[in-house]
Every structure is written in structure tokens, then in C-alpha cells.
Amino acid sequence: MQISTFLGYDGGFQEAARRVADYERVGLDLVWVAEAYGFDGPSFMGFLAARTERVQIASGILPIYSRTPTLIAMTAAGLDALSDGRFQLGLGASGPQVIEGWHGVPYDAPIGRTREIVEICRAVWAREAPLVHEGRYYQLPLPAGRGTGLGKPLKIIAHPLRPRIPVWLAALGERNVALAAEVADGWLPILFIPERADQVWGASLRAGRAKRDPALGPLQISAGGLLAIGDGDDVLAVRDLARPMVALYVGGMGAKGRNFYNDLACRYGFEKEAAEIQDLYLAGRKKEAEALVPDELLALTSLVGPRSWVAERVAAFRDAGVTHLQVTPVPAAGRDELGLLEELRQLVG
């Protein structure tokens, strides 16, 4: 099991890069770099590549709607070359609020588009022939009826460092998860409760794996949560730091009937709480919504508590198939972030 973390931007890019370099020295294997509607992700990933030596650098995630498929492939190849083969491409559909509200692009056919983008990226990196793709959502070159007719098949000028860059897909819905299990190297879930993962996603994972090309190897999974180790109340209080994020996702990321995270909370068995959180959040009563986030959900989606409890959580995530334990270390009980990662490294083995 590898250890990964999502990059925090506290203090700016310089400070974040310094922190990742420190994490690298104590055993961090992979860092995820987000892109929402702030600065773009690839700029900072290139900066990280220059400031680190061993840690893998992954986009977590690049939205599939904000770039053409070939630009995604070119960006991934460039970052892989800059990092000497340490890049991993995380892709996801994001949601209508960001895609239509910020990018001004229709949020349509996320599953079909994702499948074709993965196919196109792998064809670009393999560089076996000029690119021709005749899909439902993307046609390369563009047919004459949709353009000037002057386009011709092209091959990427640069020679990618690797002909196969690992592709991760962020997915929650049943069909999306099945697609990840079928075509991706790895899967990025969110709010992952390992003990309930099979009842929520098991059927989808099995359906996707049944169609999976054996050449892809086993599906990698990155999941986890906040990390704090100790016996005091200050440690257990760390779980509450996730309340605003969980309330935002379950309550505010989408309208009623169009919130994937709310659906997930319901599938976990928190139907009543999910409905109340959404009503409060959409009414602007955010603090009240946060207070209703179930303590059980916070405990099971984190690694916060005494060392024995954290060891049990590590085992639970491992038993659920997690290959990359994804943590956010929070100083508590006299342990700083580096000390927490060192101790987690011991527990992971």
C-alpha cells in the first residue's frame, strides 16, 4: 500500500512545494494536485516536478470538459517528461456547477466522453500511427461536414517518455465506477467507507472488471481521509474539520436530485441526514447543516484516533482494495505532519 495526499495550497505555491518535498523525504509516494476554478493544475504540477525527486505527481482531477482530448494527452506527456516518468493522469467529469458555470460548456455525456478521451490519450502516447478517432463524441480529424475538410491525421511531434501513462478516473455513480474498473489504471472515489464499499460499489466494480483488459493489471484505488494519531480529545476533534467539506458536498454540490454526493450518503444509509443537510445548506444555513453530518460518517472516512484505531482503519482500507492510502495529516497530540506520515509509514509497512 502506498501513501498519497491531496496538495494543500495554504501559504501559496512555494510553501506547498516545500511541504511536498518534506513529505517526500519521510515516505510520501504520490501527491494529488486539484484543479477547480482557481489556478490551473498543470502549471503547479510542472513546478512540483522541478522541486521534487521521487514522489509521483498526479492530477486530481483534470476536468474532461475544459480541454480537448489531445490537449489532455499532450499535457500529460509533457508533465511526464518534466518529472522523469512520475506523472499520473487523474480525470473526472466534475459537475454542472463548475463545467457550465465557469467553463461555459454543456455538461453532457460524461461517461461516453470519458471513455473516448482515455482511448485518444492512449493512442497519442503510443504514437504508433497518425491519430484517427471516429467516436460518437470526438472525431479526429474533424469530418468535412463539421469543418473546412482540410484537417488531416497527425502524430504527436514529441516522443512521450512513456507510451502508457497511468490514468485514474474519479467516479461515484454506478456506471461511472464500472467504466473506471473497465478502462482505467486507477479509481478515485470520495467519502470512502471501506466497510460499506462493496455494498455501494461492489456490483459496479465487478461488472467493469469482467470487461477489463488483463494487460491493464489490477485496478488501483486511492482513498482515505484526515490523519491524526493520539488518545486525547484534541485528536478526536480533528474529525470535525471535515464537517464543512462533507456538508458542502452532500448539501451544496448540485440541486436536489442532481447531487452525486448526496446520493452517495443515502446509499451509505444516511438518507435522513442527507436530506436534512441538503435542505439546510441550500437555505443558506451552513453551520446547521455541518452540525448534522453524522459522527459515524466522519469516523469511518478518516484515520483519526489512537494508534490502535488508526491501525484498524489502515487494515480496513487495505481489505477494501485500497492501494494508495490517501491522507491529510493534521498536527495534534504533539505530532507534526512529518511525524504523522512517518508513523503511518510504519503502520502501512
Band (pLDDT 50/70/90 cuts) for residue 193 is very high
CB neighbour class for 119 (10 Å; exposed up to 12, middle 13-18, buried from 19) = middle
Cα–Cα distance for residue pair 76/165, rounded to 1 Å: 8
Three-class DSSP category at 121: helix
* pLDDT exceeds cutoff 90 at 253: no
When divided into structural domains, the chain yields a total of 1
SS3 call for 343: helix
Residue 145 domain-assigned? yes
Region 275-290: mean pLDDT is 98
Matching residue, cell 498526479: 58
Least confident of 90-104, 128-142, 189-203, 237-251: 90-104
130 found inside a domain: yes
Residues in the chain: 349
Domain membership flag for residue 295: no
Q: Is residue 268 part of a domain?
A: no
Residue predicted with more confidence, 12 or 286: 286
> Looking at residue 241, what DSSP letter applies?
G
| Grid cell of 348 as nine digits | 502501512
Q: Which residues pair with 90 in a beta bridge?
A: 168
pLDDT, residue 8, reads 84
Q: How many CB atoms lie within 10 A of CB 210?
A: 10
Provide the CA 10 distance to its chain's centre, in angstroms. Answer: 19
For residue 344, being part of any structural domain is answered with yes
Residue 168, beta-bridge partner list: 90, 186
**Cα–Cα dist 87/41, whole Å:** 13
- Scan for cell 467519502, then name that residue: 191
Supply the range of the domain harboring residue 209.
Answer: 2-228+306-348
List the CATH number of the domain containing 69: 3.20.20.30
Predicted local distance difference test score (pLDDT) of residue 144: 87
In a domain, 216, yes or no: yes
| pLDDT reading at 11 higher than 90 | no
- Per-residue pLDDT, 145: 86
- Which pLDDT belongs to residue 68? 98
Residue 285 has pLDDT above 90, yes or no: yes
Position 173 in a domain:
yes
Distance CA 309, CA 231 (A): 10
| pLDDT tier, 96 (very low <50, low <70, confident <90, very high otherwise) | confident
Whether 199 is covered by a domain: the verdict is: yes
